Chain A
Amino acid sequence: MSTETKPDIDIDRSVGDFRYEMDYAYDAGVGLTEATIDYISDVKGDPDWVRAFRKEGYRKFLEKPMPTNWATKDLENIVFENIRYYLAQGQQPKRSWDEVPEDIKKTFERLGIPEQERKFLAGVEAQFDSEAAYSNIKAAVGEQGVIFVGSTEGLKEHPEIFKKWFGKVIPSGDNKFSALNSAVFSGGSFIYVPPGVKVKHPLQAYFRINAENFGQFERTLIIADEGAEVMYMEGCTAPKFETSTLHSAVVELVAMKGAKIQYVTVQNWSSNVFNLVTKRGLAHEDAEIKWIDCNIGSRLTMKYPGVVMKGKGARGEVVSIALAGDGQHQDTGAKMIHAADNTTSNIISKSISLGTGRSTYRGMVHVPKHLKGCKNNTECDALLINTHSRTDTYPAISVRGQGNAVQHEASVSQISAEQIFYMQQRGLSEAAAMSLAVNGFVNDLVQQFPMEYSVELKRLIDLEMEGSVG
């Protein structure tokens, strides 16, 4: 292909590739000790039980082994001693735009969030480094009784609501990284939607990382009470740094009887980020939890959103798109735990590997004894673009007893030379033809994203595809 139409893959991220000198009012230094945790708790003014929770998490973090018996050895390249575990402006989350510091506003502008658009957002919880620097809840949402706050504020101001479920869907000892998050979490969103309230607009949060060697450990808990409905959207861009950055979030969803939660993520960290995330939802009777997950960035992403279907008739769904470019490893998947009769789950995963990229699907479907009428459907399709691209599929399916139906199917394919030839005959360049074919491959899933995300996604896929042929 001609070189002028072959921009480097990173060009897309140059929009976010900038830094401002920050005056970090609170900086816990590098490395993690019990003193770091006390420091974080002191700065944030944690209640005693949160401090104890952090210390318990720290103890479990030290105990837990790295999951390298099944996961990639690349994890061994994380140097925990070199990471900053807490950084903040030391500000309370801002209520009004005027109170937001000038240079932070600049960052938002570079991110391309016009102020005009914010008005239409139901609420913006913009996380700048560790602390929510700006949070704006549209009056209408507040009037409906929806609580949409940062994690620190949520635990401090509304313990009666959040304490009950905090750390219950994902216990801190679930894995090494959920334990780490439990020890040092800051930022993230806590949302409570009262019974019967259907939040019309999606709630959004923008995240950024803006310091070298700085780990980001946000914690999100969303509770939709009986019959409530909410959609949450999370998108990430990050500036480029020379050394690796660790991002390790914990996201817990609780859908009470008949409630619906949709959680949308577009992950586009820069290619030096380790993105090790634990996401799980608990669906009560007739509730529905749907994870829509798209992973484009990072060096290594390990993320397997799960749904525990605890009540009869509950439903879980994971829709996942992964794009692994040069040097990237997208290790994603889904976990579906059926724990009541007539629960149904659906997993649709599509991955594209290009250059030396590697995409991995790991799945777990579990149907325990004495359940009836449980159904799971899993489809995994992988597309390989280049000779050195790689894809793996590792599902684990356990079914006990009869009366349930579980099916898993996976396929690996490539774009056929015929398709490309056909399009080239009609005047498309090879890269454009490739792009079109890839967009066709993921199109049915992209359409499940909210409109603005699907537009952005298509554009991102186009950019990643350019220069990948020839």
Chain B
Amino acid sequence: MSSSHSVTTLAPTPAHWPEWFLQEQQKAWDLFQSLPLPSRRDEPWRFANIKATDLSGFSVASPVKDASALVSRSSGLADLSAKLVFGNDSLLHSEAAGLPAGVLVLPLEKAAKEHEGLFKKSFMTAEVRLGSKKFAALHKARLCTGSFVYVPKGVAVQRPIEIWHWAEGEDSAIFPHTLIVLEEGATATVIDRFVSSRDERSLAVAVNDLTLGKGSRLSYVGVQEWSDKATAFHLNTTEVEKDGNSTALQMNFGGSYIRGESDSHLLGEGSRSVMLSINPASGEREIDQRTFQDHFAPRATSDLLYHNALSDSSKTIFAGLIKVEEAAHETDAYQKVRNLMLSDEAEANSMPGLEILADNVRCTHGATSGELNEDELFYMMARGIQPKQAAQLIVRGFFGTVLERLDHPSLQEHLGAILDRKLDL
């Protein structure tokens, strides 16, 4: 693999995949080549910096220089049931401790070989609807490896599974993938960590597919700490069957242009999807998030809460849609985005949308943009707290209300500590 291979012009080099998947990849490559780049006129790209979607300057990543250094830097939760560490799309390290019988935590290509049926049933099966069809095709075509988490019927994985994805090398491109399949009544907690090894310009086109069977419970967290020069696409699909319960949190700390797409399908009666995001935006960062809460079945709930704190000349875009299909009676759907403006140069764009085709529903959405509360600042300053720190404390509290929605105390604490570190508290 030469480092001069541009990701957008040269066809992908075959990896260790079964023959049938290589054919799929060829099809995906053709699709990527045939689809046009997003344009200003495309509604899913409204307000977005279209220039950031030109990926021609990025090359296929070379193997990382020092794998063991990255593995030792992959230190997150203390109490884990499994950990995988990837560097530039190759597996550097894996460990597991006391995984219940039948639970699989595997590299993706191994799952495709050994569990072909399972893999085919849940790997990128949903249509990419929020704008990044072209980039999802690129992801599929360029996919080298990824993680496959499978929990069989009725099994609960008590301790979290942690997956690290490292990017290294100037202008290098990686394609992380996390596929989680929970069978009926299964429980799991998965954390994806996305990190740049150095302060370099790089590209990540990441996909995570969360598939929840009947009555299953999943807590998923993506902690994104790419370098400030990185471009990244994080494309998610969540499918929830009857009485399944998904909580997914995205935390965005890095990147120059971050495009997030989260598409929740409430497929079964009584299913639930909680969509959370914490976005401290600073510098010149643009965080561009598109979400979809699609209700197909009656009596399902979706609940979205995104908090953005914008400093310097950062920019956020939130475009969310709640859609209640004709059959989805007695839907409860909520959507809330709050923008805390901390600078005169920052820009927040909100497009909270509703499309309701059924009656007897309860749907609300809200979007607010405001500034720091002067009274709160005054209160803290009167007690000897410096203005800058007082502001950071308010921001921390603002994000804390999102974190509290995670039904997982030790995870909350861990993520809270990351947040404190990022906010210099």
Contacts and interface: CB of A to CB of B under 8 A. Distances in A.
B355 A392 contact: yes
A401 B359 contact: no
B341 A408 contact: no
Contact of A408 (B347, B366, B372): B366
Given A401-B345, A402-B344, A392 B356 contact: yes
Contact of B370 (A386, A405, A413): A405
Given A69-B42, A402-B342, A402-B346, A410 B357 contact: no
Contact of B360 (A388, A393, A414): A414
A156 B46 CA distance: 42
B363 A404 contact: no
B173 interface: no
Given A396-B351, A397-B369, A399-B339, A412 B363 contact: yes
Contacts of B339: 399
Nearest to B311: A402
Contacts of B47: 396, 398
Interface of B is mostly: strand
B291 to A, nearest CB: 14
Contacts of A29: none
Interface string B35-77: 0000001110011000000000000000000000000000000
B368 to A, nearest CB: 4
A64 B170 CA distance: 43
Contact of A384 (B42, B359, B367): B359
Nearest to A398: B349
A370 B370 CA distance: 14
A387 B326 contact: yes
B361 interface: yes
A403 to B, nearest CB: 6
B359 A410 contact: no
Interface string B359-379: 111111111111110000000
Contacts of B349: 396-399
B380 interface: no
A82 B10 CA distance: 51
Contacts of B345: 369, 400-401
A413 B359 CA distance: 8
B288 to A, nearest CB: 13
B368 A407 contact: yes
Contacts of A391: 354-356
Given A396-B351, A399-B347, A401-B346, A407 B356 contact: no
A158 to B, nearest CB: 40
B357 A394 contact: no
Given A384-B361, A398-B47, A405-B370, A410 B354 contact: yes
Of B345, B346, B351, the most chain A CB neighbours within 10 A belong to: B351
A68 B81 CA distance: 51
Contacts of A369: 344-345, 347
Interface footprint category on B? 35 or more
B129 to A, nearest CB: 16
A398 B359 contact: no
Contacts of B341: 399, 401-404
B33 interface: no
Given A69-B41, A392-B353, A408-B368, A401 B360 contact: no
Interface string A369-399: 1100000000000101111111111111111
A389 B359 contact: yes
A259 B362 CA distance: 41
A337 to B, nearest CB: 14
A409 B336 CA distance: 9
B359 A387 contact: yes
A408 B368 CA distance: 6
Contacts of A367: 369
Contacts of A402: 341-344, 346, 371-372
A405 B348 CA distance: 12
Interface of A is mostly: strand
B358 interface: yes
A394 B351 contact: yes
A411 interface: yes
A408 B352 contact: yes
B350 interface: yes
Contact of B351 (A395, A399, A400): A395
Contacts of A405: 368-371
B371 A398 contact: no
B368 A413 contact: no
A247 B344 CA distance: 43
Nearest to A371: B344
B376 to A, nearest CB: 14
A405 B340 CA distance: 10
Interface in A166-185: none
A233 B46 CA distance: 36
Nearest to A414: B359
Contact of A392 (B344, B347, B354, B368): B354
B369 A406 contact: yes
A70 B359 contact: no
A376 to B, nearest CB: 9
A367 B347 CA distance: 9
A408 to B, nearest CB: 4
A379 to B, nearest CB: 10
Of B42, B46, B367, the most chain A CB neighbours within 10 A belong to: B367
Contact of B350 (A69, A393, A400, A408): A408
Nearest to B43: A70
Nearest to B42: A69
Given A403-B371, A407-B367, A398 B347 contact: yes
A327 B355 CA distance: 17
Of B326, B354, B368, the most chain A CB neighbours within 10 A belong to: B354
Contacts of A389: 359
30 contacts: A369-B344, A384-B358, A384-B359, A384-B361, A388-B326, A391-B354, A391-B356, A392-B353, A393-B353, A393-B365, A395-B353, A396-B46, A396-B47, A396-B350, A396-B351, A397-B348, A397-B367, A400-B344, A400-B346, A401-B341, A402-B341, A403-B341, A405-B371, A407-B366, A407-B368, A408-B365, A408-B367, A412-B361, A413-B362, A414-B359
Given A397-B351, A411-B363, 12 more contacts: A69-B41, A69-B42, A70-B43, A384-B359, A391-B354, A395-B352, A401-B347, A404-B371, A405-B369, A405-B371, A412-B356, A414-B360
User: What are the 10 A-B residue pairs with the smallest beta carbon separation, nearest first?
Assistant: A401-B344, A402-B341, A393-B354, A399-B369, A402-B371, A412-B363, A406-B369, A384-B359, A400-B347, A397-B350
